[in-house]
Amino acid sequence: MQKQHNQNSQMPSGESESPFCVLWMAPFLSGGGYSSEAWSYILALSNYLKSHKNSRFRLSIEQHGDQENLEFWEGLPLKMRNLAIELYQSECRLNQTVVVCHSEPGAWYPPLFDTLPCPPMGYGHSKVVIGRTMFETDRVNSEHVGRCNGMDFVWVPTEFHVNAFTRSGVDPLKVKKIVQSVDLEFFDPSKYKPLDLSSIGTLVLGSDLTGLKLEERFVFLSVFKWEHRKGWDVLLKSYLMEFSGVDNVALYLLTNPYHSDKDFGNKIIEYVEGSDLEKPTNGWARVYVIDEHIAQVDLPRLYKAADAFVLPSRGEGWGRPLVEAMAMSLPVIATNWSGPTEYLTDENSYPLPVDRMSEVKEGPFKGHLWAEPSVDKLQLLMRHAMSNPEEAKARGRQARNDMSRRFSPEIVARIVLDHLQEIINNID
């Protein structure tokens, strides 16, 4: 379903002196990274604008960038679904509108694939057009550089991206760092009981630990889509080299397909059998796969069921599961490169060192560079977190404090609105 946009469309009655409209176009109904990011901004801005009646801005949203996912929509909290309907129905006069195109640049006008164009009527009809995007490698390709330079501004989430985009040729005057927020009220560990992992995890390797109580085992959790970039191979290799069946430890992988089928159990077994890993005398450490959809409302309970979160990714734009886990006071082990360098510290997490940079071998970003996280250092960090639970919990508590101090919805909404106000003032 698509709105009808008209440059001179009339505002609702009583809005003759209405504020400027911010039309945020993103994959709100799709799930995935850009979707959760967009929701983080919209929830922050909506709450802020409702509590500050004198704001010059109104919000409107539209689906853009990816196909709608009914399962994701039905799993959203009712509050978010009601807000989506409310903001979708909000009308804007385009020549008084700041359009935010929150997606990868290939979806921007004119889109390179089948999606609603952003901005909806092309350039020149809106007051300002902002591209909100990111990248997971060391550079931005020439096609995307050109599209970024066609925007009035380009918002990126981290200092890493500011450097990568400007180094690639995007006009430095257009690039602005706008960090993301994390919903600390929703991701609040004090509100939830742990999800029963035994009811959703499928055992792939090792002997089941169902007989052990949750407090008698140490649970590592990782959340990612099944692609090489996410470093699932690094995670499995480190985990299976460090632990064996004698350790009361379990690794739970919440994953979903990315240009692949869902047969993750067999993919893991094929990887292990094709590697140089030797099966320990005491058998493999336990590996479970969660390949069913976990509704958004249940995500905090999933994090609550874990003792540590681990993601040895080769590159991240931001890393939504990382900040969600940190908001839930989980100790996090993550690659100390790309987007997560914006928030990982030695006090609030376990930053994973990089062995070297490697070349992307296939896909549209072939030839770019990304990180190869250290397998042996990951082994040490996972063992250390398990062996020092009080220290790990302390880092988790610090993580939540840092999320609150730097990335709360109130703080990020103010950053966004201050920048929008500055743009409008310069135009006026």
CATH number of the domain to which 339 belongs = 3.40.50.2000
pLDDT in tens, 275-299: 999 999 999 999 999 988 898 899 9
Same domain, 121 and 200: no
Residue 119 domain flag: yes
Q: Is the pLDDT of residue 208 over 80?
A: no
Residue 3 domain flag: no
pLDDT in tens, 374-405: 999 999 999 999 999 999 999 999 999 999 99
Same domain, 176 and 240: no
Residue 213 domain flag: yes
Same domain, 78 and 124: yes
Q: Is the pLDDT of residue 16 over 70?
A: no
Query: How confident is the model at residue 12, as a pLDDT?
Result: 42
Residue 359 domain flag: yes
Secondary structure of residue 118 in the 3-state scheme: strand
Q: Among 39-43, 67-71, 347-351, 376-380, where is mean pLDDT lowest?
A: 67-71
With beta carbons less than 8 A apart as the criterion, state whether 57 and 76 touch.
no
pLDDT, mean of residues 31-46: 91
Kindly indicate the confidence band of residue 53, based on its pLDDT and cuts at 50, 70 and 90: confident
Query: How confident is the model at residue 17, as a pLDDT?
Result: 46
Q: What are phi and psi of 42, to 5 degrees?
A: -65, -45
Residue 14 domain flag: no
pLDDT in tens, 135-170: 999 999 999 999 999 999 999 999 999 999 999 999
pTM of the complete model: 0.91
Query: How confident is the model at residue 120, as a pLDDT?
Result: 87
Q: Look up the domain containing 105 and give its range.
A: 20-181+408-427
Same domain, 220 and 358: yes
Q: What are phi and psi of 322, to 5 degrees?
A: -65, -50
Distance in angstroms (rounded) separating the CA atoms of residues 337 and 299? 25
Q: Is the pLDDT of residue 129 over 80?
A: yes
Same domain, 339 and 413: no
pLDDT, mean of residues 38-55: 88
Query: Residue 204 contacts by C-beta under 8 Å, 6 or more apart in sequence?
Result: 264, 265, 268, 269, 287, 288, 289
Same domain, 172 and 214: no
Q: For residue 173, what is the domain's CATH number?
A: 3.40.50
Instruction: Identify which of 1, 20, 24, 19 has the alpha carbon closest to the alpha carbon of residue 118.
Output: 24
Provide the domain count of the chain.
2
Same domain, 219 and 197: yes
User: What percentage of the chain has pLDDT greater than the value 90?
Assistant: 76
Secondary structure of residue 29 in the 3-state scheme: coil
Same domain, 366 and 417: no
Query: How confident is the model at residue 14, as a pLDDT?
Result: 42
With beta carbons less than 8 A apart as the criterion, state whether 327 and 183 touch.
yes
Average pLDDT, the chain: 91
The amino acid sitting at 184 is L
